[in-house]
Structure formats: C-alpha cells, structure tokens
A and B are shown apart, each in its own frame.
Chain A
Amino acid sequence: MEFAELIKTPRVDNVVLHRPFYPAVEGTLCLTGHHLILSSRQDNTEELWLLHSNIDAIDKRFVGPLGTIIIKCKDFRIIQLDIPGMEECLNIASSIEALSTLDSITLMYPFFYRPMFEVIEDGWHSFLPEQEFELYSSATSEWRLSYVNKEFAVCPSYPPIVIVPKSIDDEALRKVATFRHGGRFPVLSYYHKKNGMVIMRSGQPLTGTNGRRCKEDEKLINATLRAGKRGYIIDTRSLNVAQQARAKGGGFEQEAHYPQWRRIHKSIERYHILQESLIKLVEACNDQTHNMDRWLGKLEASNWLTHIKEILTTACLAAQCIDREGASILIHGTEGTDSTLQVTSLAQIILEPRSRTIRGFEALIEREWLQAGHPFQQRCAQSAYCNSKQKWESPVFLLFLDCVWQILRQFPCSFEFNENFLIMLFEHAYASQFGTFLGNNESERCKLKLQQKTMSLWSWVNRPSELSKFTNPLFEANNLVIWPSVAPQSLQLWEGIFLRWNRSSKYLDEAYEEMVNIIEYNKELQAKVNVLRRQLAELETEDGMQESP
C-alpha cells in the first residue's frame, strides 16, 4: 500500500492552528505518511510536527466554507485546525483518520524512521537477560537461566530466556506451563539480596472447577522456599473474581496443595474499567467550566486515584512481605501480564535502589514490562478520547508510571530520573519513532525483526545530551528501602500528565530551572575549590622539598 493513496490533499494553505497557551498560528498544513506538519514559514518555534499515530480521535465542524478539525492526541493534547474550504477540510480529515489507524505494524513510523543522531550504544542490546542474571548470580546459586522457551514454544508471551529455580529442569517447566494461564509458569522477577527472598510471577493456575493440580507446579514453587520458610501468594484479584475464574478453567492455588504458602487477595481493576476511568479523568481535567466542588466530585468519580491507591498498596504489601516478613512471594492475577507486572515492578522500585536509577529503571521496564510480555500494542492502541469499547485497551502502563511519580513525589531525592523521564516514557508507549514499544511480546517483536528494522528508544535516551534532560538534580544515591504513604492525603493528581495542556507551567518550569542552577553553581564551586586545594598542596610540598635538603 502506498501512503500517497491515503493522502487526498497533501497541502493546504492558510490553515490556522489553535493550541492552549499559544497565540493562533497561520500557516501551511502538510500531510506526510506519518506526520501532520504545520509551518508558518517564519519561525521554527511555531511549527507543529505531530505523529499520526499520536492522534486518538478527530472531530470536524463546519461554519459556512470554514472547516474546523479538532485533533485529540493520545498524550491528551487537543489542538484545533481551521481549514478554509469544505472539500480540503474533509480530505484532510479523512486522510488523518486513515493514517492514524494503519492496520499493519510494519507501516508504522518506526519502520521508516532514520535517526539523525549518532548511535553510541545500541539500545536493543543494552539490557540482555544474561547480564541481568549475572547481577544475581554473585549472590545466589539457587537459580538458573532456562532456554526452554527458545522458540516461544512453551509460552508465547515469555522471552526466550527466563530465570527459574536451579532444581527444576526444563521438562518440569513444560509441564508447569500447561497448568498456568498462557503457559506463564512461575519465573523469577526479583531477588532481594538483603535476605535472599524472591518475587516470582506467573499466570493463574488452571485449576478449573475440578480443583486440578500439578505436582511439578507445587514442586517448582516450593523449590524457592528455604527450609522451614513460608511464602505468600499475592493474587491481584479479589477472592470473588478468582473463584469465578474457575468456571472458565482458571483459578487459584488451594491451600491444601500448597501448605507452605499463604494466599492474599487484593483487588486491582483491569481492562476497560481502567480505560473508562482514564476517559472520565481526562474529561474532568479538560472541563474548565464547572466549579470547585464539581471538580473534586469528578476527580473522585473517575476513580483514577482509587486505582493508584490500590496498586500502590498491593506493591507495598509485596515489598513488606519480602523485606519485613522475610518471606518470598508469588504474584499473579489472571494472565499475569497487567496488574501482576504493576505490582512486581513497583515492589522493586520500593525495595531495590538500582531500579531508582535511570539505567536501572530502563532495565526494569525492559525486564518487567517488555520481556515479561505486557501487550503494549493492544493496551496503548487508543487513549482517553477513543470511543471504541475494545476490551484490550487499558492504561495499565500509565497507571504504573503514575504510581512511580507518586513515590518520586514523596521521595524527591531518591530517584536519578525526574518527572520528564516518566512523561517521555508515557508518550513513547503510545506513539513513537522508536520500535521499543511495538508488538505485544518478545515473540511478536522477533517476527517483526524490530531489532534490525527499527531503532530502540534506549539508543536515543541514553545519550548524554538526552539524559541531562531526564536527570533529577536532587538525586542522592539512597540504599534504603523506601516506603511510600498510600493514604489519600498523600496521593495527588499527576498534573504533569493530566493538566499538562490545561495550565501554564511557566512558573513551575522556572522553579525547576532555579533548582538546577542552585545545584550546578554548588558543583562548580566545589570543582574550583578542589583545583585550588590541589594547587596549594602542590606548591606547599614544593616549598617543603626546597626546604628539606
């Protein structure tokens, strides 16, 4: 297919662009295969470059011969284009609609994007499972790398390499896979070096109504326990939901068959409930007509912060089991690709200082989200403005980022990255020139040959010039476990995401700049003083040498 077929009118003059907090700009609108561009041909700062894949929905309106297209983006921005001429407007609108909903992944921008920067480190190879495993292998010999899923034959949503208990062979893993939803047998997610406790994750056990059991599954899980120790299974569903799952062949671990494990049910929402919550929240943030009370009411009615609280509480509970109780845990919900990953990754943010560094956080996303098979392609296909009621669209990853932001807000000095880093990840998960978030799992990425055909987000992010934008000036390495508060008073709306286009951030940006300046100046002085001290010391020893003979 040629993009040209989709572009009915490639260019329209005298288009007026309206954006909040900017004066209207008149210019020429151009459509390319992947971008919508508006150029005033005067000043570069006024140009609009918008990825079609960032467009979530469009509305069109006509007043006489003047057409208006309102573009609602996946990053929640809303822009308006006034286009003279009804035909041009209709053409542009239908072209945008077609180009923003391409049906083939290989037509997406990452397959066409050629980087304008020098690649210092290829991000596709920055976080290899073998390297990650090495970090553990110095501390423990109880685990091994398994290549049982090399051809994605055992579990289509797992990566080729997983970490499993050393005492369990691949044959047993294959058997366990048949007992777990989607073949997602329990694998190591995190090893707590401090006390050797672990977080494992999996899909739900397929006990069904008959209470089916699997000896290998029981053996695998028990293999992770030290002698005489007990562990916790955290089911991210309520007991009720978990019981209902049995009717569909799913279920949960029966105490009788897992006597050393204690099951805890938490209730984290999933799928369309989260999507509806996002839609309501963004609607409330965009509606500036109502009074103070209605605002709080709408914020409440969206339930967004309730989800945040629920996810954070579960993650804290998991971290508490590991660090305070000294107990290993297994986490799963139904598929083990959504709420499970929210909990395992947030628990690591709490427990593991490395995951609060830029590198470590990237590794966490690579390991716990991308390789762990969170279906980004499905979940992030649409955002807050879409009307489609598809079951698989859900802001699971955004909720995770929001939870990280909540912890960052409570521990502003404990993260190497800043809020902009989280915002950037949100943007790229929904629309990007990079291939990182394409596909639903490693198997699909492999088939798409993303490594060969697209650029990794990390290749771009991990360059010093980019990193400097994402580095938190307040960061002081902190080796401690950080326990966030999950009280409603401590949780806030993430304004940097949800009010980003609805308020001016000028004064806040100035404050950030001021903060950077204060710290930079301090470092500068520190450097100067060090130089002088050294100089002085040299002069003084010279002095002494001259004197001593």
Chain B
Amino acid sequence: MLIDLSEEYKRMGLPNNYWQLSDVNRDYRVCDSYPTELYVPKSATAHIIVGSSKFRSRRRFPALSYYYKDNHASICRSSQPLSGFSARCLEDEQMLQAIRKANPGSDFIYVVDTRPKLNAMANRAAGKGYENEDNYSNIKFQFIGIENIHVMRSSLQKMLEVCELQSPSMSDFLWGLENSGWLRHIKAIMDAGIFIAKAVSEEGASVLVHCSDGWDRTAQVCSVASLLLDPHYRTLKGFMVLIEKDWISFGHKFNHRYGNLDGDPKEISPVIDQFIECVWQLMEQFPCAFEFNERFLIHIQHHVYSCQFGNFLCNSQKERQELKIQERTYSLWAHLWKNRADYMNPLFRADHSQTRGTLRLPTTPCNFMYKFWSGMYNRFEKGLQPRQSVTDYLMAVKEETQQLEEELEALEERLEKIQKVQLNHTKVKSKPSEPSKHSGFSTSDNSTANTPQDYSGNMKSFPSRSPSQGDEDSALILTQDNLKSSDPDLSANSDQESGVEDLSCRSPSGGECAPSEDSGKDRDSDEAVFLTA
C-alpha cells in the first residue's frame, strides 16, 4: 500500500486561496532533507522561500505540516534561524508574515521553539538561535523545554536498566523510573503538542514549530498536535499517513536515529519511540478515541528498528529515491493493513464522541496521567503483563456478533420462506439444517481444553518474581532468541514481538500465562522457603 501525501493535503482542504503547492524544492534544489512537494503560503514567492531557506539550518525553511480547515489556522515547521546574536533576514521575516497572512482569523502567529531556552541561547554563539520578537512582526515566541537527543538516549538507557533489574523492589523500580526522567520527557513532548493544538483549535492562531534542525522534536510535536486535532490521524490509515508525512517525508533521519547502519552511536536516539509512547499515553486516557490498539503501536515501533520493510530506511526522501526504495522493498503499511484485524480497538466507534473533533486534555497538569508502559518496555516478559486481554476478548465478542448478525438475517429469510411455503400448502420440504452450534467465544473453548496444561504452566509468574528468587530469565531469553532467529516472514514474528497475543494469551479465561517449563519449579519454591525461613 502506497501512501499518497498529495491525497492527504487534499483531505486537509488544500490547495486553497491561501496555500499552494510549491515546486521550489524540485529535484531537492533548495533543501535536500525536505520532500519535493511542499505546501507554502500563496504569498510566499520562490524568492522569499529561497531567501528564508538560506537563513535556516540545513535550509529547512518554514513549510506546512498541518492545515486546520475549520478555522484556517495551520501548523508549520522549520529549523532554527541562523540569527546568531543579531543577524536578520528580510525574506525569512516575510516568510513568517506570509504564514500569518494565510490565516485571516488571527493577527499573530506563535513561534514555538521546542528546545530548552538555555540550549537555544547556546546555539546563538554558533550563529544559530531563535527568532527575535522585535524583528518579526506579530509573532509570539515561546520556548518549550524538550531535551535533545543525547539526553533522551541516556534517559531511555536508564529506564531500560530499571526494566531489566533482577527482582527489583518497588522502591528500586520507582526510584529508577524517576531518575531516568523518561516520563518527564514524555510529558514535555505532550505539553508541547497540547499547547499547539490549543493554539490552533481554541485561539485560531497558526504556529511555526522548530527545534534545531527541525527533524526530531519538531516531528514529535507536530505529529502529537495533529493527532490531538484531527480524528483522521487516530484511525489506522490516518496514523500511517501521519508518520509518512511528519516523519518520513520531512526527513527524520531513521538510519541515524535507529542505528540501521553502522554509524555514529551519538546519533542514535529514541525519537519516534517517544512519539509512539505519547500516542499510547493518549490511548490510556481516551480509550475510545483510537481505531487501533496497543499492538499496532508496538509493531510499528518494532519495525522502525527491524529494517524489514523499506519505509524506515534512509535519512531523507532524496536518499530513498536514489536507492529506489519503493521499487526494491515492501511497505510496512501494506502488511499492517492486511492484518488490520489484529490491530483494531474494539471500543472504537466512528460515531463516538471521542472519535470526533479535538481531544481535549485538562489544562491543569496532572503528572500521574503519564504511566510506565510495561506493554512496550517489558513486552518480552509475558508474565508481567495482564494475563487476560480485554481487547482480544472484546474483539472475539465483536466477531461473534457479526456472525450472529449474518445468521439472524439468514434465519429470518428462511423462516419467511417456510411460512410462505406452508401458506401455499405446498409439500416441498426444506432441508432441516442443523443450527450451527455457537460455542461462545473461541476463547472459552480454549480455556477448558487448556486446563490441565495450565496447571503446570501457571506457576511461572509467581516464583520467578518472588523477591527471594532470581531464576527468571529463561523465559525472557527464550522469547528474545525466538525473535532474533525468527523467520523474516512478518506474520510469524509479529506474534512474539508484542508479547501479548499468542493464542493462549488471547484466551481471556485460559489466561494462565503461557506454558513454560515446569522443571525448575519445585526447586524454586524450596529455595524460596529455604531463603525466607
């Protein structure tokens, strides 16, 4: 499945009186990390754009990321201006002016620098920096302190160390989680996204977002804001489009960030991981708002690193074109779409209030809203996950409901026919068909069948996590090995990577965790007794 971004811009309502497709970047002449097709304000001439691009890091000039057709406000993105301590650029100022004019509903635009102020100021010494409010007319400038890729890399590292602790105490875990700072960073990204979504939807003001190069934090923040604003991005297809637009087309450096090739380890950073986690955090707060489920996110995250599909190869559109990625690789989106039944959120309903309009988060900051995502960071340890999946249970119910609907229709039809026949006193006998036996949900059958094995399997989780024992990694290592050596056929390993969806776990009532070797058990428990006695 190919995603056509020009379709997406059309969906947003573009082109229109204010925005037009620009060919200024044809053949990547202006900016080699941007796509060739870009929307810019109509009043921004090629001269202005090129001029502006010379005043921006890596020539990433302001371009449209999202257009909110309800009130003409837009989200634009760029890199930092090369302002140093005092430099100005007339064309860049005109460019921002043009963005403001493209939104007749507001007399100012927000310029959001997603970096901590200190970092932005430090950049000035290198001839970069941020917009001076005095030089640009009618801008409101705002810092939102999201840390850089190096801080994020080490934060993840610290959090993963906590996840891998052997039998941690509650304090070890919570302290470690806090010290990693991970959830603080997630919150910073969310805060930025919420700020922008509110500016656009409530104030009707356009926003220009940038960080340093405009391909990491900017991508995170633009896509979170778009997701909050537009229900389309909360659907299966829309989410793919969002990633395609804000991440792939705008030159997020997948090869560098996810270490696809042997490269500089300092370039590696979990940038898109954080975005994916933001989406999960939102799913936890708005359980009916997303068409897809947690597994969808986990699988996308997995394939950002797997290099199995072409989507996340290379650092820019230009590189992908040169390597003919589209012709030579498969698309993840087609694969996900084919298996979409696995990724559906049963609570999603197109006409539900949560699926319409902007997702509104409370204005007061609630720190406890952001939670540790065990389904992602401990996904290989099935014993740690809820043993029965509500999502899978409800999907099974829905599937059965669909069959029932069909059967009901068929039955009504036949009943009608027979009644007619009887009325006509004809002796044509319709074949009595055995009513198809409904066995409840496949899952419940499983559970009864599983009972005996489950007794031996269900111990694993307890002894392995009892604080007095340390012998728990066999299961973990096993699954990871499976993953590594797994057949490249995606359908085969997609089951393992999410860690929640093999058949035994899908059963809501057979949920006694996956069968695991029972051998060490008695020794384990003896040991427990011994150690504690």
Contacts and interface: CB of A to CB of B under 8 A. Distances in A.
B347 interface: yes
B426 to A, nearest CB: 10
Contacts of A210: none
B461 A288 contact: no
A529 B432 CA distance: 16
Interface in A483-532: 483-493, 495, 499, 502-504, 507-508, 510-511, 514-515, 518-519, 521-522, 525-526, 528-529, 532
A325 B462 CA distance: 13
Contacts of A325: 522, 525
B466 A482 contact: no
Nearest to B399: A522
Interface residues of B, number: 100
Interface stretch (A74-82, A217-225, A313-321): A313-321
Main secondary structure of the interface of A (DSSP, over half): helix
14 contacts: A263-B533, A295-B367, A296-B177, A300-B175, A300-B178, A306-B171, A309-B170, A413-B511, A476-B508, A480-B454, A487-B167, A488-B168, A503-B369, A515-B347
B163 interface: yes
7 smallest A-B Cβ distances: which pairs? A488-B173, A511-B287, A300-B174, A413-B508, A296-B178, A295-B367, A525-B404
A80 B435 CA distance: 62
B351 to A, nearest CB: 11
Contacts of A263: 533
B178 A297 contact: yes
Contacts of A503: 362, 366, 368-369
B170 A515 contact: no
Contacts of A414: 388, 509, 511
B465 A485 contact: yes
Interface string A296-316: 110110010110110001001
Interface of B: 163, 167-175, 177-178, 181, 183-184, 187, 285-289, 346-347, 349, 352-354, 362, 364-372, 374, 377-378, 381, 383-388, 390, 393-394, 397-398, 400-401, 404-405, 407-408, 411-412, 414-415, 418-419, 422, 427, 429-430, 432, 435, 438, 440, 443-444, 447, 451, 454-455, 458-463, 465-467, 508-513, 521-522, 525, 528-529, 532-533
Contacts of B422: 539, 542-543
Nearest to B179: A293
B525 A324 contact: yes
Interface stretch (A182-190, A376-384, A404-412): A404-412
Contact of B459 (A478, A483, A518): A483
A484 B461 contact: yes
Contact of A305 (B174, B184, B381, B510): B174
B387 A295 contact: no
A474 interface: yes
Interface in A23-79: none
B408 A532 contact: yes
B183 A525 contact: no
Contacts of A526: 404, 438
A478 B388 CA distance: 12
Contact of A320 (B378, B388, B401, B462): B462
Given A266-B532, A539-B418, 19 more contacts: A303-B170, A316-B462, A412-B386, A412-B390, A476-B443, A480-B512, A488-B168, A489-B377, A495-B368, A503-B362, A507-B354, A511-B287, A514-B288, A515-B394, A522-B401, A532-B408, A532-B415, A533-B435, A542-B422
A321 B533 CA distance: 14
Contacts of B289: 507
A507 B360 CA distance: 11
Given A292-B187, A313-B466, A482 B387 contact: yes
A308 B173 CA distance: 14
B169 A324 contact: no
A524 B147 CA distance: 53
A482 B458 contact: yes
Contact of B370 (A292, A533, A537, A541): A292
Interface string A124-141: 000000000000000000
A170 interface: no
A539 to B, nearest CB: 5
Contacts of B532: 264-266, 317
A504 B362 contact: yes
Interface residues of A, number: 88
Identify whether the interface residues of B are mostly helix, strand, loop, or mixed.
helix
B444 A476 contact: yes
Count chain B CB atoms within 10 A of each CB in A292, A321, A477, A536 and give the residue with the most: A292
A544 interface: yes
Interface centre among B353, B374, B377, B430 (most CB of A within 10 A): B374
A366 to B, nearest CB: 27
A293 B533 contact: no
B383 A485 contact: yes
A103 interface: no
Contacts of A525: 401, 404-405, 408
A96 to B, nearest CB: 28
Contacts of B365: 288
Contacts of A299: 174
Nearest to A479: B451
Nearest to B528: A317
A465 interface: no
A493 B369 CA distance: 11
A478 B401 CA distance: 22
B459 A413 contact: no
A313 B467 contact: yes
B506 to A, nearest CB: 11
A534 B348 CA distance: 34
Which of the listed residues B362, B381, B447, B532 has the most CB atoms from chain A within 10 Å of its own CB?
B532
Nearest to A309: B170
B466 A316 contact: yes
Contacts of A489: 163, 173, 372, 374, 377-378, 381, 384
A285 interface: yes
A296 B384 CA distance: 20
In this complex, which of B173, B462, B512 has the most chain A Cβ atoms within 10 angstroms of its Cβ?
A: B462
Contacts of A476: 440, 443-444, 447, 508-509
Given A285-B368, A292-B183, A478-B509, A490 B288 contact: no
A388 interface: no
A343 to B, nearest CB: 14
A232 interface: yes
B419 A539 contact: yes
Contact of B384 (A412, A487, A499): A487
A187 to B, nearest CB: 24
A214 interface: no
A413 B393 contact: yes
Nearest to B441: A476
Contact of B466 (A288, A474, A486, A539): A486
A262 interface: yes
A546 interface: yes
B286 A410 contact: no
Contacts of A488: 168-170, 172-174
A490 B419 CA distance: 58
Given A232-B529, A305-B170, A532-B408, A521 B401 contact: yes
A387 interface: no
A452 interface: no
Contacts of B346: 518
A481 interface: yes
Contacts of B443: 476
A535 B415 CA distance: 8
Given A265-B532, A474-B508, A480-B512, A507 B285 contact: yes
Given A262-B529, A518-B346, A480 B455 contact: yes
A389 interface: no
B377 to A, nearest CB: 8
Contact of A486 (B172, B368, B397, B465): B465
A517 B431 CA distance: 36
Contacts of A118: none
